[in-house]
Amino acid sequence: MNEPTSGHPHVPVERRTYFHAATVSGTACPACGRARLRPWYLYRDRERRVWRRWVCEGCEQYQDRREDESA
């Protein structure tokens, strides 16, 4: 099976930008503690698992979390 390659090992194989209209309430950033964590985009890793990258609007740290296959 021919899967797309990114050419760089740290870039996700599949990436879809996801812009949420408002900050999801109650989601605190693990780095700074402020409730400014936003969902950014979905991607699949090489094992075909679905992940969502969350980015803090305050400190710009990010966190990847597993998602259901229906996402």
Q: Name the nearest CA neighbour of 71 among 18, 30, 29.
A: 18
Segment 48-68, tens digit of pLDDT: 999 999 999 889 899 999 988
**In terms of Cα–Cα distance, which of 39, 40, 49 is closest to 13?**
49
pLDDT for 37 equals: 86
End-to-end CA distance of the chain: 23
Phi-psi region of 60 (alpha: psi -120 to 50; beta: other; left: phi over 0): left
More confident residue, 23 or 64: 64
pTM above 0.75, yes or no: no
Of the candidates 61, 21, 14, 23, which has an alpha carbon nearest to the alpha carbon of residue 41? Answer: 14
